[in-house]
Homo-oligomer: A and B are copies of this chain.
Amino acid sequence: MSARHVALKLAYDGTAFSGFQRQPGLRTVQGVLEEALARLTKEACPVKGAGRTDAGVHAEGQVVSFRTISSIPTSRLVPALNGLLPPDVAVLAAAEVPEQFHPRYDAVSKVYRYTFFRRAVRCPLTRFYALHVPEPLDVERMREAAAYLVGRHDFRAFQNTGRPVTSSVRTVFSCRLEEAGPFLYLWIEADGFLYQMVRIIAGTLLEIGKGRFSSEVVKRALVEGRRELLGPTAPPHGLCLMRVRYPRDPFGEDDAPCR
C-alpha cells in the first residue's frame, strides 16, 4: 500500500480552542483533527499546519497536510471528516498533494483579516468574531499608517516574545482597511508573520485611529525596532486566517468569506 499525501483546507471557530497547535491536556484544532483522522483511517495521522493560530483566533482557510495509507477516496474525506469533527471545525476541501509538499514552508503568502465592530454599543451577535470599538476612528489616518507597512521590512518591533526566529525580515504584499457598514476590516498579506504580528499591527492601527498615536509611529518602529513604540496586542477574537497561497493551489477556486 502506498502512502498518499493529502492536504485539507479547514475553517474553525477559535473561541473554544487553545490554538491550532497540539498541546497536552488542552483542546486544540490539531488535536481534534488528528483524532477525527485516526478514527476515520484507523491509523495515527499527525498533521502539519500552515499557520499556528493562537487561542481564540479563527480560520476560514487554514491548510494542513498528512500522509495516509488508507484507501478512502480523497473526495470522500470531506463529508467523512465533517461527520466526525465537532461543530466548531470543518474541512472545506481535500486534495492530494506531491510527496514533498509542506503546508508552511511551501506557502507563498498568508492572508489574515482583523475585524473591528464600530458602534457605540457592543453587539452580542458579533462578540466572538469582532473587536468592539465604540470610539470614533480616523480611518484615513489608519490607512496612512498601514501604507508604511507594505514592502520588505525588518518587523522585529512587531512581534511579542515567545517564538524566536532566524530573521525578522518579512515582505508585506498588501495591508488595507475595508469599511463595510459597522465593520472595519484590516486585511494583510505577507510572505510570513512573526509571533502575534497581525494583532500588534491591529492594536497599533487602532491607537492611531483613536488619535492616541501618530501614524509616524509605524515608520519609527520599523527603523528603531522597539515593541514599546507600538500599541497593545489586539485580542485574538477579531483575527481570522483567511487564506494560504501556494505556487500551485491544491484546492482550486476559493470561496468568498463566510462572515
Contact = CB atoms under 8 A, between A and B. Distances in A.
Interface string A111-134: 000000101011111110100000
Contact of A125 (B82, B125, B129, B256): B129
Contacts of A124: 11-13, 87-90
A82 B134 CA distance: 13
Q: Report copies per complex.
A: 2
A256 B125 CA distance: 13
Contact of A256 (B91, B126, B182): B182
A104 interface: no
Interface residues of A, number: 32
A67 to B, nearest CB: 23
A30 to B, nearest CB: 15
Interface string A57-92: 010100000000000000000100010000111111
Nearest to A88: B124
Contacts of A182: 255-256, 258
A125 B61 CA distance: 12
Interface in A15-35: none
Given A87-B127, A127-B87, A181 B256 contact: yes
Nearest to A182: B258
Nearest to A124: B13
A121 B78 contact: yes
B11 A258 contact: no
Interface string A155-186: 00000000000000000000000000110000
Given A119-B255, A182-B256, A11 B125 contact: yes
A248 interface: no
A120 to B, nearest CB: 8
Given A181-B256, A256-B181, A258-B117, A127 B13 contact: yes
Interface string A237-259: 00010000000000000011111
A186 to B, nearest CB: 17
A82 to B, nearest CB: 6
Contact of A119 (B58, B87, B258): B258
17 contacts: A11-B121, A11-B124, A13-B127, A60-B125, A82-B121, A82-B122, A88-B124, A89-B124, A90-B122, A90-B124, A92-B121, A117-B258, A119-B255, A125-B258, A125-B259, A181-B256, A182-B256
